[in-house]
Every structure is written in C-alpha cells, then in structure tokens.
Amino acid sequence: MDNTTDKKCRKEYKKKYRELNKEKITEYNKKRYHENKEINKEKIAEYNERYKEKKAEYQKIKAECDNCKSVVCRHLLKRHKESKKCMDYNKEKIIIDKKEKVECDNCKSVVLCVGLEQHKKTKKCMNYWLTCLLEDYRDQKTI
Ligand SMILES: [Zn+2]
Ligand SMILES: [Zn+2]
C-alpha cells in the first residue's frame, strides 16, 4: 500500500466512522459547545465588567477646551469642539477682537485694534508724532 492509497483509506475510514457515530459526535459537539458557552459567558462578563470600570475611569478625566476654556470630559473634547457652542464662542471672540479698540500711543487716537498697525503708517498719525517732536524741540529751545 503506497501513501496515497493509505491516505485514501484513512479518509474513507474517517468518513465511515463519522457516519456510524454521527449522533455521538453531534452530542459531543453540542456538549462541548454548551460547556464552552458557559465558560465564554463568564469570560465575556468578566471582560465587560473590567471594560466598564476602565471606561468609567477614563470618562472621569476632564480636559479644558483650548478654544472656549470650557471644562469637558476628555473623551468628549473632540465632539465638543465640533459643537455649536464651542464654534460660536470662537466666532464671537473673533468679532470682539475685531471690534476692540485701542488708543494709539503716538497720537492718542482711538482706533480698532486690528487697524492699529495700519493706522501708525498713516500720515495723520505720523504727522502728529512729528508735530509733537517739533513742539518738544521748540520747548527745549525756549527753555
Ligand atoms: Zn470649546
Ligand atoms: Zn496714531
């Protein structure tokens, strides 16, 4: 008997064995399945319990939003940043920044904060500065 026929024979034998013991095998498999199911159930429950604890711990961690300074749960931070509240805060802040006015340290004109740099390059501001210098110069001369 060569190898292939041997294999074939064994295959045939297995097939026959399975046919003859069909019920036994099904029974055995069923039993094993149920046993495993019980074990798996326990394992899954244990795993879920641990997962829940970890999740609860993780969810307790708070973080500050760098946009609006709200304190939110860290796992919700990403969602928070996409929220209307946070986005509106940013928009409002930009509007306020744009509306904010400052006094020019050269000419004491009150200008928009965002326009200050540009204002300092205007003739009005530069002339004022020059006039002041001239006045100072003149004052010093008279003294
Ligand atoms: Zn925010
Ligand atoms: Zn000025």
In the reported structure, the alpha carbon of residue 61 is separated from the centroid of ligand 1 by a whole-number distance in angstroms of 16
In the reported structure, the alpha carbon of residue 143 is separated from the centroid of ligand 2 by a whole-number distance in angstroms of 28
* Side chain identity, residue 13: Y
Separation CA 19–CA 5 (nearest Å): 21
Q: How many other C-beta atoms are found inside a 10 Å radius of the C-beta of residue 86?
A: 19
Bridge pairing between strands 71-73 and 62-64: antiparallel
In the reported structure, the alpha carbon of residue 98 is separated from the centroid of ligand 1 by a whole-number distance in angstroms of 20
Q: Domain segments of the chain: what residues?
A: 3-61, 101-143
pLDDT tens per residue across all 143 residues of the chain: 566 778 888 888 888 888 888 999 899 989 888 888 888 888 889 999 999 999 888 888 999 999 888 999 998 999 999 999 888 887 877 777 778 888 998 888 999 888 898 999 999 898 887 888 888 888 777 65
In the reported structure, the alpha carbon of residue 92 is separated from the centroid of ligand 1 by a whole-number distance in angstroms of 12
Q: Is the pTM of this model over 0.85?
A: no
Beta bridge partners of 63: 72
In the reported structure, the alpha carbon of residue 76 is separated from the centroid of ligand 2 by a whole-number distance in angstroms of 46
Residues 6+ apart with CB under 8 A from 110: 101, 102, 103, 104
Separation CA 12–CA 6 (nearest Å): 10
Which of 64, 57, 58, 107 minimizes the C-alpha distance to 86?
64
In the reported structure, the alpha carbon of residue 138 is separated from the centroid of ligand 2 by a whole-number distance in angstroms of 21
For ligand 1, an ion, list residues with CB under 5 A: 65, 67-68, 70, 86
- C-beta of residue 113 within 8 angstroms of C-beta of residue 97: yes
**Secondary structure tally for the chain: helices H, strands E:** 6, 4
Least distant ligand from the CA of 67: 1
In the reported structure, the alpha carbon of residue 133 is separated from the centroid of ligand 2 by a whole-number distance in angstroms of 14
pLDDT at 98: 75
